[in-house]
Amino acid sequence: MLQSVRLTRILLDGMSSTVLTTPDLGDAMELISDNDALEIRGRLQGMVHPVKLVHFTQELNLEYGREAKQLLTELLAISDKLSLEVYNFLLDKDKVSEYGVDKVPATAVRNGKDSGIRFYGLPAGYEFATLLDAILSVSLGDSGLKTESREKLANVSQPVHLEVFVTPT
């Protein structure tokens, strides 16, 4: 079941402001500070095309599930080129299958097509910077790979499953 996150634009003293309404977060402490939001906004200004974050979670017995969803929700308020869809890992089997998600929390980063990029767990610390890089790359439609690398990858004839594991230090 798709959970909607509602954004409302309001005008305050001639300046546009975004008010985020998320009834399920309650009075949770903000994860992105105002100073960090300014830095992130500047970094995401390089976005060309909209990017959709597709997030999979479950409500019970999930370490960092609430925080991961909250982080993405706060990020959504920073750029009008970001959108968020939230699915229940246990109930939304069609979407789970479509995105090939096998654990939660999980977040897919996509534009008009699925980029294959997935983040599992809470994208915090260094992983948050990587999430921002992925959002920018998907928005630009460019992997950043050199021509030589693209040519070699064009010769890959079978699907390849690649996972990158990151541990906190």
Q: What's the pTM?
A: 0.77
**pLDDT digit of tens for each residue in the chain (169 aa)?**
444 333 333 333 333 333 333 334 455 678 999 999 999 999 999 999 999 999 999 988 898 999 999 999 999 999 999 999 999 999 999 999 999 999 999 999 999 889 899 999 999 888 899 999 999 999 999 888 899 999 998 999 998 888 877 665 5
Q: How far apart are CA 35 and CA 47, in angstroms?
A: 20
Q: How far apart are CA 31 and CA 50, in angstroms?
A: 23
108: nearest Cα among 161, 51, 163, 159: 51
Is 36 within 8 Å of 68 (Cβ atoms)? no
9 vs 19, 20, 48, 82, CA distance in Å? 6, 9, 21, 14
DSSP for 118-141, please give it: EEES---THHHHHHHHHHHHHHHT
Write down all domains in the chain, each with its CATH number in brackets.
Answer: 6-142 (3.40.30.10)
